[in-house]
Structure 1
């Protein structure tokens, strides 16, 4: 089993690539994996929010695990998103991921468990952690789930379970929570940011060790991270300024985020279709034209 206590870097949340009829595009997924590996990413997270896990059947999620694990072939860690509507299905999916060769699982709270139910959260994460030997990454996605995972609960779970030592933090208090967890746990928790890496530099300064962004502009974010790690803060800011032009546009359309990420991948020649499953809002011609202009301006269009 891979030692992930030193996990660092840019770990894209892969799109689940689809054909225009909505079926899974297996070669498209493989193409996206190869592209990201060529650009130097440090791992992958599959079938999480950006991967439309909530629109996939369990059978499809298992197939995506198999595809990505096979294509990666041990080059970097693969985290399988096993979030589900209840604890038992999450355990079943996590066990499948372990048997398939995933390096870890990433789990959100069930959506129905709200703020007043921290005992439920503790029970849910504990049972998943007890069910597998793999590292269990907690995904703290309050903005999406409406569920608060306190820094204290994270610390408690890590103290009780040797395989709970990674968290993805994204939400209205991201920077504050990163600092809280770092103060509580020191180096005992690997902290990764999210939210499309729009606050990557601030998160790194607050104590994060990387980010789980989309997989459409990996070379820019790997460049930002590597420059920051080497102490070249000026270079990191310069590269991030290019990425910011894209992520600022993404931020204008929060309901179109997954579609815009996939359309970026299509415009870059990585995948053939930017189809997303419902519920969704369709992209319009003006969105595609705006993306073309942004990508051309930062040298990220296909062939540039």
Structure 2
């Protein structure tokens, strides 16, 4: 197990990797490790596993542990590993977070509990108890569209003050007033990542630390370079890349993530596009739209698309 890195290094493109399955639905470990090598070779700054894009709700706890451990072995400390360990059950979240800590993850990405719809005080107590029980750095995952609850900036600031190992938040939140308040009230050393692909550049422009973008599964170098340009003050290049990525960002969210993404990766020959129920492949109409976008980027030739 490699020594855990300083949290200040957890910046840039922290790609949320898909979890590839074989046609029978079992975890495809070899393909997963191949994807990790490709991401590292392509310049991704870190790897996030068992986040939303990795279908954690369709995995058992044992499978999630296996995916996290497989990633730790494959990465071997070359880039940061962020493990998605959140559930809506504190005991299960503790189990997964402690496991990630043991196998050498650099941080845990912990979703705001879903379905329960806790109050802000309930959110505070949940994350406070988790943070007090582990030493691993924790990144809150605030995604109100999936959890039905939005953690308030004041709650984050309270957790930041009381829990030194709560180091940041992945904000899948289109409300930039909310995000600006988080950055202001939690301090500039609180790491705020964009969890919305179309807002990666705007988030960086107001002080974000990076992004966790599903699009990096297809364009790892370009999504990493978006951060690199901003970090180097190359704003014009960053804006151009922002608009270059826009059609792909839109195409991959025509339906629920990671359905379109896995289908696209299947078209590109990188994975078997199997999803676990209740997720399924995109509709024929959306498959055609995604295929056209892949062709427009030169990733797929029309002849290879069966047209």
Distance in 1, matches of 2:72 and 2:222, equals 24
Aligned-residue offset at 1:286 = 4.1
CA distance in 2, matches of 1:170, 1:32: 24
- Does 1:228 find its partner at 2:230? yes
Query: Distance in 2 between the 1:207 and 1:230 partners?
Result: 14
Question: Which residue of 139, 143, 146 corresponds with 1:141?
Answer: 143
Counterpart CA distance in 1 for 2:210 and 2:255 is: 23
Q: Could you list the per-position Cα deviations for residues 46-80 of structure 1 after superposition, in whole angstroms to 9, with x for gaps in the alignment?
A: 11111110110001000000111111110111111
Instruction: Name the CA distance, whole Å, in 1 between partners of 2:234 and 2:50.
Output: 33
Aligned equivalents of 1:144, 1:282: Cα separation in 2: 19
Provide TM-score, normalisation by structure 1: 0.92
- 2:145 and 2:173 mapped to 1: Cα distance? 5
For the residues of structure 2 that align with 1:181 and 1:225, how far apart are their CA atoms?
Answer: 20
Q: Does residue 88 of structure 1 match 2:120?
A: no
In 2, Cα distance between equivalents of 1:112 and 1:285: 31
Matches within 5 A, 1:98-247: 98-114=101-117, 117-173=119-175, 175-195=176-196, 197-214=197-214, 215-247=217-249
Provide the TM-score with structure 2 as the length reference: 0.91
* Structure 2 CA distance for aligned equivalents of residues 241 and 183 of structure 1: 27
* In structure 1, distance between residues paired with 2:130 and 2:186: 22
For the residues of structure 2 that align with 1:67 and 1:6, how far apart are their CA atoms?
22
2:275 paired residue number: 276
Question: Which residue is 2:289 aligned to?
Answer: 290
Q: Which region of structure 1 is more displaced relative to structure 2, 52-61 or 4-13?
A: 4-13
In structure 1, how many angstroms separate the alpha carbons of the residues matched to 2:251 and 2:158? Answer: 38
Cα deviation, residue 269, structure 1? 2.9
Instruction: Tell me the distance in 1 between the aligned counterparts of 2:189 and 2:210.
Output: 15
Unaligned runs of 5+ in 1: none
User: Are the aligned partners of 1:266 and 1:274 in contact in 2 as well (CA < 8 Å)?
Assistant: yes
Q: CA deviation at 1:176?
A: 2.0
In 2, the alpha carbon distance for the partners of 1:89 and 1:149 equals 21
Q: CA deviation at 1:279?
A: 0.8
Equivalent-residue separation in structure 2 for 1:232 and 1:300 (angstroms): 26
Q: State whether residues 88 and 116 of structure 2, in contact with CA within 8 Å, keep that contact through their aligned partners in structure 1.
A: no
State how far apart, in whole Å, the 1-side matches of 2:223 and 2:19 are: 20
Give, in whole Å, the separation in 2 of the partners of 1:150 and 1:205.
22
Output the CA distance in 1 between the equivalents of 2:212 and 2:130.
21
Matched residue, 2:61 = 58
1:106 touches 1:138 (CA, 8 Å); kept in 2? Answer: yes
Which whole-Å CA distance do the structure 2 matches of 1:177 and 1:168 have between them?
13
CA contact (8 A) 2:173 2:179 kept: no
Q: Are the aligned partners of 1:15 and 1:51 in contact in 2 as well (CA < 8 Å)?
A: yes
Other structure's SS at 1:277 match: coil
After superposing the two structures, state which structure 1 stretch, 135-144 or 101-110, moved more.
101-110
CA apart distance, 1:6: 4.1
Flag structure 2 segments of 5+ consecutive residues without an equivalent: none
DSSP 3-state at the match of 2:270: coil
Runs of 4+ in 1 over 6 A off after TM superposition: none
2:49 is aligned, of 46, 49, 53, to: 46
Question: Could you give the per-residue CA deviations for residues 157-180 of structure 1, whole angstroms, max 9, x where no partner exists?
Answer: 11111101111011242x222211
What RMSD, in angstroms, separates the aligned Cα atoms of the two structures? 1.8
State the Cα distance separating 1:281 from its structure 2 match: 3.5
Q: Once the 2 structures are TM-superposed, how far is the Cα of residue 207 of structure 1 from its aligned partner?
A: 1.7
Q: Tell me how far 1:266 sits from its aligned partner.
A: 2.3
CA, structure 1 residues 281+230, in 2 after alignment: closer, same or farther (shift >3 Å)?
Answer: same
